């Protein structure tokens, strides 16, 4: 007779119940009992709302992920769930499993781009993102709902070959390309060798492909320029046509052009739009509030209908479904295809689409991006603030700018647009931080907007000076 597990249901540290996921520091506010409790609650939700017990589960390469998986799967089993364990995998492969296995829900254990001591849980219910109030309700469920213990099952499933076969569908590389890939020691390392073996007409250089939750070479966040230095060096030294980088769980894509320049998400999104515009009449393209005004202007010139949405892969995916959009993205590198794919963020699939586009052009990636208007901008600046203060600061800035004569967009933070450019200040939904970005068509305009933003931050007791 098998011994009963020793896990039990606990209340949550409120700080771990985030906007898009449940996330925190392992053994501090995320424990095995936290994972077990999530399993018991989520299994109950799936049963109650969908009358189903079919749930797919996967986990990334972090050192703490296996033990959290064990606790989570036991919680799901004790809720009566039939668990399909995909094993270690990038997050997009878990999303794929949800479709391929025809499960009704999925949970990915991942710390994404956060430091190595963090880990968390991304959830999908009935092919929709599970976020915001759905996550906040977990605490209430723990306090008010009697969660009946039932008998479920756990089955191990290997889908790597099925996943690769699907993302390679309709990917034909028409000219020889040399590509450097930085896996960042993240979970994409589970599949990259098999993918490269099937990628015709390419020469490939693989960096940091071994999965290592210590991330010994650099942190796996391709939005931070420092983390792209190794890939830039590889592209230049090997005369590559482009470089690709992934975050820890493989749902964010970073891109380097053939000259060794970082191509930001709003720039390579325009390259992706150049293909999409030929496949649809006036396609609706969604991009987040942090992206350049150039994207909205240039995609419109192409014949697309650009739509600004609040930041976050979950709201963007939901807006995509609502509008039946074929393409969406955000500055963090979460890009989703809905035309020939499922409408979720898969960095490897996006990379393949970009490679296919380049193979159909005589021009280099640098040349394709160089056509677009140039801007002067700051990088995205992040600085720590107290969790309880970050949203109040945004509200205060909004109130102070309420009588300002220029255009104010407040779908997510405050985006002020003037004739000279724009700035954005918003509260992060995943970290105790404010993020800011400033962009202008001139260096003088950039300085003017920076001064205005710095003044607003100072009025909220934040003494921050931008360096340009």
112 classed as catalytic? yes
The full length of the chain comes to 468
From the candidates 112, 234, 292, 359, give the one annotated as an active-site residue. 112
Domain shared by 113 and 176, yes or no: no
Question: Given phi > 0 = left and psi -120 to 50 = alpha, else beta, which region is 333?
Answer: left
Q: What is the CATH number of the domain that holds 389?
A: 3.30.310.50
pLDDT, tens digit, for every residue of 218-247?
999 999 999 999 999 999 999 999 999 999
Domain shared by 381 and 433, yes or no: yes
Can you tell me the distance from the alpha carbon of 376 to that of 153, in angstroms, rounded to the nearest whole number?
56
Q: Indicate the pTM of the whole model.
A: 0.94
Q: Is residue 8 part of a domain?
A: no
Q: Is residue 7 part of a domain?
A: no
More confident residue, 420 or 180: 180
The answer to whether residues 292 and 280 touch, using CB atoms and an 8 Å cutoff, is no
Over residues 255-271, mean pLDDT = 97
Q: Is residue 464 part of a domain?
A: no
Q: What is the CATH number of the domain that holds 35?
A: 3.40.120.10
Query: Percentage of the chain surpassing pLDDT 90?
Result: 88
The answer to whether residues 456 and 432 touch, using CB atoms and an 8 Å cutoff, is no
Q: Is residue 57 part of a domain?
A: yes
| pLDDT value of position 156 | 98
Domain shared by 41 and 146, yes or no: yes
| pLDDT value of position 2 | 40
| pLDDT value of position 3 | 44
Write down which residue in 370, 391, 423 finishes a domain. 370
* Least confident among 35-39, 76-80, 290-294, 429-433: 429-433
**Whether the predicted pLDDT of 404 surpasses 80:** no
Percent of the chain that is helix, strand, coil (3-state, to 5) = 40, 25, 40
| pLDDT value of position 19 | 85
**Whether the predicted pLDDT of 1 surpasses 50:** no
Residue 370 has phi, psi (to 5 degrees) of: -65, -20
Domain shared by 120 and 171, yes or no: no
Q: Is residue 262 part of a domain?
A: yes
Which residues form the domain of 129? 14-158
**Whether the predicted pLDDT of 430 surpasses 70:** no
Over residues 397-415, mean pLDDT = 89
| pLDDT value of position 453 | 95
Closest CA to 382 of 113, 170, 141: 113
């Amino acid at each position: 007779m098998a011994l009963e597990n020793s896990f039990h249901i606990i209340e949550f540290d409120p700080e771990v119940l985030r906007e898009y996921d449940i996330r925190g520091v392992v053994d501090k506010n995320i424990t095995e009992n936290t994972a077990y409790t999530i399993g018991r609650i989520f299994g109950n939700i799936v049963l109650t709302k969908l009358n189903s017990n079919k749930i797919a589960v996967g986990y990334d390469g972090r050192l703490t992920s296996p033990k959290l998986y064990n606790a989570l799967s036991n919680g799901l089993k004790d809720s009566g769930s039939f668990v399909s364990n995909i094993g270690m995998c990038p997050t997009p492969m878990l999303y794929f499993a949800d479709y391929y296995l025809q499960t009704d829900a999925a949970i990915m254990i991942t710390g994404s781009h956060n430091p190595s001591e963090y880990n968390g849980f991304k959830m999908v219910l009935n092919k929709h993102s599970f976020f915001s109030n759905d996550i906040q309700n977990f605490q209430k469920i723990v306090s008010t709902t009697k969660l009946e213990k039932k008998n479920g099952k756990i089955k191990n499933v290997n889908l790597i070959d099925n996943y690769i076969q699907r993302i390679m569908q309709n990917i034909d590389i028409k000219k020889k390309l040399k590509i450097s890939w930085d896996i960042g020691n993240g979970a994409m390392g589970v599949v990259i060798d098999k993918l490269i073996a099937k990628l015709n007409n390419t020469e490939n250089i693989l960096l940091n492909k071994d999965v290592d939750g210590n991330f010994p070479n650099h942190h796996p966040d391709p939005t931070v320029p420092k983390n792209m230095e190794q890939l830039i060096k590889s592209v230049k030294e090997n005369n590559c046509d482009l470089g690709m980088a992934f975050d820890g769980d493989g749902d964010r894509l970073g891109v380097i052009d053939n000259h060794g320049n970082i191509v930001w998400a709003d720039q390579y999104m325009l390259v992706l739009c150049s293909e999409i515009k030929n496949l649809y009449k006036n396609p609706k393209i969604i991009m987040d509030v942090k992206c350049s005004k150039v994207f909205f202007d240039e995609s419109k010139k192409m014949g697309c209908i650009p739509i600004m949405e609040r930041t976050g892969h979950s709201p963007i995916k939901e807006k995509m479904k609502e509008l039946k959009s074929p393409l969406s993205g955000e500055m963090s590198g979460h890009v989703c295809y809905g035309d020939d794919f499922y409408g979720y963020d898969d960095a490897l699939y996006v990379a393949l689409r970009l490679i296919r586009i380049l193979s159909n052009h005589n021009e280099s990636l640098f040349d394709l991006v160089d056509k677009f208007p140039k801007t002067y901008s700051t990088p995205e600046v992040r600085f720590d603030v107290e969790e309880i203060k970050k949203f109040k600061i945004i509200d205060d800035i909004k109130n102070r700018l309420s009588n300002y004569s220029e255009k104010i967009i407040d779908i997510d933070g405050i985006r002020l647009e003037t004739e000279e450019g724009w700035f954005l200040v918003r509260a992060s939904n995943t970290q105790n931080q404010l993020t800011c970005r400033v962009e202008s068509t001139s260096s003088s305009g950039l300085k003017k907007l920076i001064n205005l933003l710095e003044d607003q931050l100072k009025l909220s007791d934040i003494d921050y000076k931008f360096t340009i």
